[in-house]
Structure 1
Amino acid sequence: MRRRMPRPAGRHGGAATDRTRAAVADAHQAGERRTAVALAALAGAALAGADAAAGMLTWQRAALWALLGGVVFVVLVPPLVSAAPGRLTSRGLFTERTVRTDALVSVRWSDGVARRLVLRDAGGRRVEIDPGVLVRNPALWHRLDTDLRLSAGHGRPVPGTDALRQLREHVDGAAARAVFDVSGLGQDRSATAVSPPSSTDGASPG
């Protein structure tokens, strides 16, 4: 009886596997989603509890407070940002947007109080992301930064030098602070700065 030899993965299958393994996503989004669920439930329960205490709770009002809790969740839950070689995706509850990070034509800050990083590619696709997601996820930033540098190396520099420079400074600063915190150097420096120097002259008040 012949023994079948395993077939080697084809070129396309291996490339797909490598691409999947190279994909990274926001590692903190699950915790933020749980927080949004908790706050939404708390808001609905608090309103329903206030109605019950006042003797005004009906099933219609309970449904209204449950709906309001759902709205709070939709407002608070952040989109899931993920990146793979050549693309970056922002996936919300009802929408999903993707840009080609190897074909970007613009990187800039959005207008308004809450600053967002706006990326637009040659196909007209556009994604807005919270820059804090990249600061909190070095692997996600590294994936995006790698594509930007490769694009510039191939003669396709991305307009938006100021926004990218500021973002790199934020990420590098956050990484440096994390290293200090993990090593304990940050605490030592803080203690040194706060603690006054001790007197060594042994002089006594006259």
Structure 2
Amino acid sequence: MRRHPLTLAFLLAYLVYNDGIQTVITQASVYGSEELGLGQSTLIGAVLLVQVPAVAGALAMGRPARRYGAQRTILGSLVAWTLTLAAGWFLPAGAPVWFFVPAAGIGLVLGGSQALSRSLFSHLVPPGKEAEYFSAYEMSDRGMSRLGPLLFGVTYQLTGSYRSAIVSLVAFFVLGFVLLARVPVRRAIGEAGNPVPEKI
């Protein structure tokens, strides 16, 4: 992979913003129960709710990806993640309905951002190296999500507020946005030995 530094640059960007995604998924129930005082049935309902718009989001984001390119669409989804987390700061305690609103928003951007990231990465993989590269991709997807929970926990320890803790995760989406925006995707695809699509 050292021979394809631009592919590695994309993988680093993905590692950062995916860490934020995985942390939001795992810590949202903590935020809901500890900060908002929501019951277990409400939290389970929110988890189930996320799955439906996630499928819809994965399908719906295909249209802007075809028009504007996958990279720009992923960048747009990171902005949506940031806005959704920022909205979480203002959620009133003891109001399950309002908790479902950002849960649905998370579902929409979750499905699209993850599906498009895999699709874009596939263009950056040299022909014949799919198994090796996607093994590294999955390892970063599943095995590297440690900094997000650490930041969440440290922020809570320092501030005593789960609202501050959940909003602190915005850092992963902002940094991931910057890193991804700096990747020259068309050149990366060409250097990987793949044909460059008209829109990417």
Higher relative contact order (CA 8 A, sep 6+): 2
Question: Do the two structures share a fold, i.e. TM-score over 0.5?
Answer: no
**Which protein is richer in strand relative to its size?**
1
Greater C-alpha radius of gyration: 1
**Which protein is richer in helix relative to its size?**
2
